[in-house]
């Protein structure tokens, strides 16, 4: 077993690491402090209401941060907090009407659903058939490699005022002598 109970507490959606699996979203260890702050949840309060916290994790993309903030907000909207003392409910506790309607959740808490891009098959165009990916990449690499020498030659041509290369200019000087 992985040691992580997938059903409780609430865990963030994170992308798998390797190239093969990085399109897949799985349950992470805990929400980052930035995600909790954006959702308006205190770190200590998160632990008490069933939200996992991982202070070491970093948000590397704005999209995943927003997705996890939405996940937290959805959880908070469904959450019914019972007051510790029924006679003295505190701020943030649920009303008596909500408590009466409450039922215990069985199964995973907000399960992570894989989202796939909707792709449809289409006919390959003549332009795509004629294009060569290998040739395109080869030309791109050559252009990147030769950019410096091409700039140097263009600069020399501009300085020579139409005489051509430096060698031709040197030969013209010798001929005059």
pLDDT in tens, 97-125: 888 888 887 888 899 988 888 889 999 99
Residues 6+ apart with CB under 8 A from 119: none
Q: What is the rounded distance in angstroms from the CA atom of residue 124 to the CA atom of residue 66? A: 36
pTM for the full predicted model? 0.63
Instruction: Report the chain's mean pLDDT, rounded to a whole number.
Output: 87
Task: Find out whether 72 and 49 touch, Cβ atoms under 8 Å.
Answer: no
Cα dihedral: 124, 128, 133, 138 (round 10): 180
Q: In which element (H, E) is residue 14 found?
A: strand 13-15
């Amino acid at each position: 077993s992985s040691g992580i109970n997938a059903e409780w507490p609430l865990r963030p959606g994170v992308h798998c690491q390797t190239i093969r699996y990085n399109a897949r979203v799985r349950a992470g260890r805990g929400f980052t402090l930035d995600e909790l702050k954006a959702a308006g949840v205190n770190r200590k309060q998160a632990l008490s209401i069933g939200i996992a916290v991982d202070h070491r994790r970093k948000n590397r993309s704005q999209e995943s941060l927003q997705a996890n903030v939405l996940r937290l907000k959805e959880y908070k909207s469904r959450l019914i907090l019972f007051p510790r003392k029924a006679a003295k409910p505190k701020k943030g506790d649920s009303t008596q009407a909500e408590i009466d309607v409450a039922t215990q959740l069985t199964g995973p808490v907000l399960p992570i659903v894989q989202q796939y891009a909707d792709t449809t098959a289409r006919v390959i165009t003549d332009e795509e058939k004629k294009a060569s990916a290998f040739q395109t990449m080869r030309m791109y690499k050559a252009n990147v490699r030769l950019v410096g020498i091409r700039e140097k030659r263009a600069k020399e041509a501009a300085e020579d005022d139409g005489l051509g290369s430096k060698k031709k200019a040197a030969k013209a000087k010798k001929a005059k002598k």
